[in-house]
Structure 1
């Protein structure tokens, strides 16, 4: 018995931080969507009471550091299950990139175990479980386009954004999300127009969507990692319709309607970054190919 799940990467079309909460988390308002860059998760039922993580990638931990492991353990503990699972992760999303690769793996594990073990949980129940694992997991459970609020766990689904190409470049640097948030000065930050982004998506207005991309964390990351700014400038000079950093970075993405221009941006970055991708925007539930 086994099931397969696709775990797509996410990008932030808009990321705003409103204030720091009493619980030390930040209140956020983010418009996120999925792209056709995805890990593939295979879950196999085990009769023995254990969780096994397997992957060909050396960047994937096989213990509780892995969010997919935590997701499986949470399901077992919550519902008192003694059966086990072997989780194979075919890694395509770069790690520590601001693309929610680990969160998407955890979300795919929740969806997959719901099917594998016939739990009958609703998408809302799975998203509530996801919120206990990480801030982006609830969004990734929905696997669509959405406004995420609170810590990221309050999800309002949106229509898919206007279709386009997405070119991503992930530099070989590590960025600490905690450090970026600690250095964010909300009194002096430029807040993106989340409402305008939502309206652009609902009205399927590509140019308006491009005009309203924004990430309040971008200037903080750029101040510490100038390479992020260099990648942005390279994309802009190559003709991108919009350029933005995803999450706390360091991945930068560009939105492009024309495939020839997307190819030009992709090729211009190949000597600049080792990890460069050219994919389509998704924004809707994506079944396995």
Structure 2
């Protein structure tokens, strides 16, 4: 095998709680993460001499050594002493710096793809342990589905998959710095926290309405303070029929849960599309 196609799925947060700031400077989190149908598409091809080449359909995305897909390829080559390199062609559909783990999903896809391309036969757990060294979201993106993430996001407890749920995602044209959001977060000032145990029960019961009501992300207060428009987007989603709405990650993407895909489509047609990406998707 000299060429392989692989998909990279985005994620949303159903909950996101920050418990405390750790001695190492990171924050201890507890959150429920969910894969969605929105995905990037990658093609991997063998290259001689352990070279790494990355090209992307989105000109704004750097394709140098700072790119997570590049880092993942380099990690795999060095960790497993591979005798060839890889050319990565990345077709982006997940918006950049959106709170949807697009870069981590691409890195996870590279690791999964190279594992198959080179016949390494490494387990999913092996790849997850390796992936966390370059990104806390990468283990979840390798595993996918529905899971509780703890630690800095790398410690996963898989959950029963949620039923297929229609989603409408709204991504403003700007990006949000995760580092800036966390630096402005005062854990002692958090006013409302998610009930993670209750959300797990709603997932087990496949109660979508209760799931929508239980959505909670403690980072919203900080990010909405920096970008007040996001609170209006959240309210607009609700006014247009969303059962519940939440910012994913540190933002700026805000999504709504809808009863049906057609309901999400009707809401999308009514949303203000100025300088925003409006994406209809579903849980996966």
Q: TM-score, normalised by structure 2?
A: 0.96
Residues 6, 40 of structure 1: 8 Å contact kept: yes
Determine the structure 2 residue equivalent to 1:26.
27
Determine the structure 1 residue equivalent to 2:109.
108
Determine the structure 1 residue equivalent to 2:259.
257
Greater Cα shift, 43-52 or 10-19: 43-52
Greater Cα shift, 44-53 or 255-264: 255-264
Determine the structure 2 residue equivalent to 1:210.
212
Greater Cα shift, 20-29 or 256-265: 256-265
- Aligned counterparts, 1:1-289, within 5 A: 1-189=2-190, 190-282=192-284
CA RMSD of aligned residues (A): 1.1
* Structure 1: gaps of 5 or more residues: 283-289
CA shift at 1:270, angstroms?
A: 4.7
CA distance in 1, matches of 2:261, 2:80: 48
In structure 2, relative to structure 1, the CA distance for the partners of 1:273 and 1:237 (3 Å cut) is: farther
CA shift at 1:271, angstroms?
A: 2.6
Residues 138, 153 of structure 1: 8 Å contact kept: yes
CA distance in 2, matches of 1:62, 1:259: 35
For residues 20-79 of structure 1, what are the alpha-carbon distances to aligned partners after superposition, in whole Å with 9 as ceiling and x for unaligned? 111111111110011111001111111222000012210222211110100010111112
CA distance in 1, matches of 2:83, 2:134: 20
Residues 103, 134 of structure 1: 8 Å contact kept: yes
Where 1:48 maps in the other structure, the secondary structure is helix
What is the number of equivalent residue pairs in this alignment? 282
Where 2:38 maps in the other structure, the secondary structure is strand
CA distance in 2, matches of 1:24, 1:37: 32
Where 1:86 maps in the other structure, the secondary structure is strand
CA distance in 2, matches of 1:109, 1:259: 31
CA distance in 2, matches of 1:155, 1:245: 21
CA distance in 1, matches of 2:188, 2:278: 34
Greater Cα shift, 242-251 or 190-199: 190-199
